Every structure is written in C-alpha cells, then in structure tokens.
Amino acid sequence: MALKYKRILLKLSGEALAGDQKFGLDYDTVYRICASVKKCVELGAEIAIVVGGGNFWRGRSSGQMDRTRADHMGMLATVINALALADALEAQKVDVRVQTAIAMQQIAEPYIRNRAVRHLEKGRVVIFGCGTGNPFFSTDTAAVLRAAEIDADAILLAKNIDGVYSADPKKDPSAVKYDTITYDDVLAQHLQVMDSTATSLSMDNKIPVVLFALKDPENILRVVMGEKIGTIVKEEP
C-alpha cells in the first residue's frame, strides 16, 4: 500500500493521553494510540512525535507564577508523557528513542537533529520532549520547528475535534467544516488550529498540517494512507 506521507511529525496533546479522565495518563488510551503508530511504522512510515504536557500542567494558565518557571514545569510534564509513549511502543516491540530539548542524559538522549534523522531512517520512532526547550513557545510551535528540521512531509495534528470549522461547532450549529484551508485564512479568521506562531512557521516552511480527531486512534493510520478525513491546512486550497 502506498503511503501519502512518508515522514511525518505527529503532534499529540497531553490531554489526548488522559482519555476520559482529563488528567494524568490513561494507559489504555496511550496503548491504542501507539498501536496505530506501530501499524504506520510497519507500512514504512517514518514517525516522529511531539507531545504536549497539558494533562499535568499548563504554563500559560499558571496564575501568579513566573511564566518562565511555569513553562519549564510544563516542559517536564511533556517528558513524563514522552516516556509513557516510549514504554507503550516498546511493549508492542517498536524501536523508539526519546530526545529532549533540555539535557537529562539519565533518561533520554539530548535533541540532536542529525541523530534524530538517523533514527528515523533506521525505522525507529523518535519522541521529542520539552517542546522547543524555550519558555513562551507552545508545543505546537515545537512540532512545526521539529517538522522543519527533520524535513517532514506533513504535520499530523491529533485533536479532540474532527477538523477546522468556520466557528466553534459546540456554540454555533451553523459552523462549516473545511476539507482544506490556507494558512492565510487560518490566520486572518483567527481559527483555533494552532497558535499564530506555529501557523506562521508552518506557512513559511510550506509544511502541510492535517488536523483530525484522535477519538479513534486508527485515524492516524488513515491520514498517513491518504484517506480524506479532517482538514488539510496548506498554501493553496
């Protein structure tokens, strides 16, 4: 079977790993997500993953705390999630490496771009932790940055909504779902795909973004195979 995308950057939110409990880790959910990733790897896809930390901590909603310190705490939360994903993948006999933007050699490799690409070429899944390693940058921005660095064919944005809508479908029943939309339209209409920094970075580097629902983890495989689900954000509609 032909793959639509050979090398992909999969962005998973921290909340996606929490399942219905909304906080912490739901191992069954993590296992199902990793089972779908395994199928993609078996078909020959090269997969890198950036994971958020919102199931444990959110820097930008930390109240009175210093934002830089709060963001550093958020980066540590992403490492917990990265290790959980690595464990679930290894349990399914998938070769995996965790790389972090902040050095913590005892538990993960430091992020080295050439080493990450080499892992991908050898069929290993690479999980990137700690976001960009800098405060004030979201893990969505980290996903686009890593995708550009490893020369990914696409960014797969696994969310709790099944595509990009003209308005919030929960609040506006007349909201229309887009099959494709341009980066410019996303920015101009302030659509909640990614934050504006991440959207601008993907636009500048011409990396298509596919936003889809993670409720069924098999959707990861469907997108890689080229099935038309979710919304594709790209240069031309």
- At 129-138, the pLDDT tens digits run 999 999 999 9
> What sign does the dihedral 27-82-145-126 (CA atoms) show?
negative
Band of the pLDDT at 4, cuts 50, 70, 90? very high
Whether residue 168 is predicted with pLDDT greater than 70 in this model: the reply is: yes
Query: What pLDDT was estimated at residue 141?
Result: 97
Percent of the chain residues past pLDDT 70, beyond the cut: 98
Query: What's the whole-model pTM score?
Result: 0.95
Query: What pLDDT was estimated at residue 31?
Result: 98
Query: What pLDDT was estimated at residue 208?
Result: 97
Band of the pLDDT at 1, cuts 50, 70, 90? low
Neighbours of 229 (CB within 10 A): 17
Band of the pLDDT at 237, cuts 50, 70, 90? low
Neighbours of 83 (CB within 10 A): 17
Query: What pLDDT was estimated at residue 178?
Result: 94
- At 91-139, the pLDDT tens digits run 999 999 999 999 999 999 999 999 999 999 999 999 999 999 999 999 9
Whether residue 63 is predicted with pLDDT greater than 80 in this model: the reply is: no
- Return the CATH number of 7-234, one of 3.40.640.10, 3.40.1160.10, 3.10.450.50, 3.10.20.30: 3.40.1160.10
141 vs 54, 65, 106, 113, 157, CA distance in Å? 15, 22, 26, 16, 12
